[in-house]
Amino acid sequence: MTTSPDTVVTAVAVPGGSGDAPDPGSGGRDRYLDLWRAAALVRVVAYHVLGWIWLTVLFPAMGLMFALAGSLMASSLGRTGNSAVGRRLRRLLPPLWGFAAVAVTLLLVTGWRTAPAAPLGWGEMVWWIFPARTPPVGGQSWAWAYNVVLWYIVTYLWLVLLSPVLLALFRRWPWHSLALAIALPIAFRFNVVNVGGYFNEQATNVSTYLACWLLGFAHHDGLLRRIPARRYAVAVAALAVTGAAWVLVVGWSSGNYDLNRVAGGNTLWSMAFVATVLRFRPRLDWLGRIRPLDRLIELLNARAVTIYLWHLPVGVLAGALLAPVAVSGWVATVAVRLAAVWVLIAVAVALFGWIEDLAARRRPALVPARVSPARTRRPRTPAASGASGSVSRVAGAAARVAVAPGSGSGWHRAMASVVAVLAVGLAVMALNLWPGVTTRSPAQVARPEVTYRLSDLPMLVDGTSTPSSALPSSTPSAVAATPGAVTVHGELYPRAVLTAAPSRLRVQPPAGCGRLRAVIDVGADDAEVTFAVRADDVTVFSSGVRSRADRAEQIDVDVTRASLVDLVTSSPSGGAVGVWADPRFVCSP
- The reply to whether 400 falls in a domain is yes
Res 368: pLDDT = 82
State whether residue 477 is helix, strand or coil. Answer: coil
The answer on pLDDT for 446 being more than 50 is no
Residues 155 and 262 occupy one common structural domain: yes
**pLDDT class for 468, splitting at 50, 70, 90?**
very low
**Residue 321 maps to a domain:** yes
Q: Same structural domain for residues 319 and 377?
A: yes
412 plus 502 within the same structural domain: no
- pLDDT range class, residue 25, cuts 50, 70, 90: very low
472 preceded by cis ω (within 30°)? no
Is residue 444 in a domain?
no
426 with 470, same domain: the answer is no
Domain-located, residue 185: yes
Domain assignment present for 445 = no
Domain that holds residue 541: 450-587
In a domain, 507, yes or no: yes
Judgement on whether residues 422 and 542 belong to the same structural domain of the protein: no
Is residue 186 located within the same domain as residue 301?
Answer: yes
> Is residue 152 domain-resident?
yes
Residue predicted with more confidence, 191 or 81: 81
For every residue of 100-151, DSSP letters joined together read HHHHHHHHHHTT--SPPSSTTGGGGGGGGTS-SSPPP--SSTTGGGGTTTTH
Is 322 found in the same domain as 375?
A: yes
Residue 396 and residue 455 in one domain: no
- CATH code at 494? 2.60.120.1060
Query: What pTM was estimated for this model as a whole?
Result: 0.71
154 neighbors 119 (Cβ within 8 angstroms)? no
Angle at 415 between CA 411 and CA 419, to 5 degrees: 170
Indicate whether 493 and 403 sit together in one domain.
no
Residues 411 and 490 in one domain: no
3-state SS of 379-434?
CCCCCCCCCCHHHHHHHHHHHHCCCCCCCCHHHHHHHHHHHHHHHHHHHHHHCCCC
Tens of pLDDT along 31-87?
888 999 999 999 999 999 888 889 999 999 999 999 999 999 999 999 999 999 999
- Answer yes or no: is 318 within a domain: yes
> Does 460 lie in the same domain as 332?
no
pLDDT higher than threshold 50 for residue 8: no
Number of domains making up the chain: 2
Same domain, 414 and 514: no
The backbone torsions φ and ψ at residue 441, rounded to the nearest 5 degrees and listed phi first, read: -65, 135
